[in-house]
Amino acid sequence: EVQLVESGGGLVQPGGSLRLSCAASGFTFSNYWMSWVRQAPGKGLEWLANIKEDGSDKNYMDSVKGRFTISRDNAKTSLYLQMNSLRAEDTAVYYCARVDRSSGDSGYRSLDLWGQGTLVTVSS
């Protein structure tokens, strides 16, 4: 089955760190750009970052640049998001998503497969 499964969410204090993981299965992970998207409670979707197939190119939203790091391990078919200096406003469900490659290999594509998400709560 083609799927993405996130893990690693939880309660963390402001200023703390957390590492999210996303396990991919059912497709050739190393052939796809991958992304992280989050959704604060009751709010809209917010694109955070994406990473090229081989990890050589990464792009971030400004408000997480320098605090969050996207990475991947193709041997383990896994995507990661290292989150440091967490703030209350980072509280959200975090989704990993696959970048569609049906129209060619690029980071500028739709997100065609999503995980179920993992909840991160930043609170003292």
Partner 1 sequence: DIVMTQSPDSLAVSLGERATINCKSSQSVLHTSNKKNYLSWYQQKPGQPPKLLISWASTRESGVPDRFSGSGSGTDFTLTISSLQAEDVAVYSCQQYYSYPQTFGQGTKVEIK
Q: Smaller CB distance to partner 1: residue 85 or 116?
A: 116
Interface with partner 1 (CB under 8 A), residue from 18, 109, 120, 122: 109
Interface with partner 1 (CB under 8 A), residue from 36, 81, 115, 120: 115
- Find the helix or strand (DSSP H, E) in which 3 lies: strand 3-7
Sheet of strand 78-83: strand arrangement:
3-7, 18-25, 78-83, 68-73
Min CB(108)–partner 1 separation in Å = 5
SS3 51: strand
The encoded tokens of residue 11 equal 């309660």
> Pattern 53-92, binding to partner 1, x per CB under 8 A?
------xxxx------------------------------
Report which DSSP code applies to 65. B
Number of C-beta neighbours around residue 44 at 10 A: 6
Residues that bind partner 1 (CB under 8 A): 35, 37, 43-47, 50, 59-62, 95, 100, 103, 108-112, 114-117
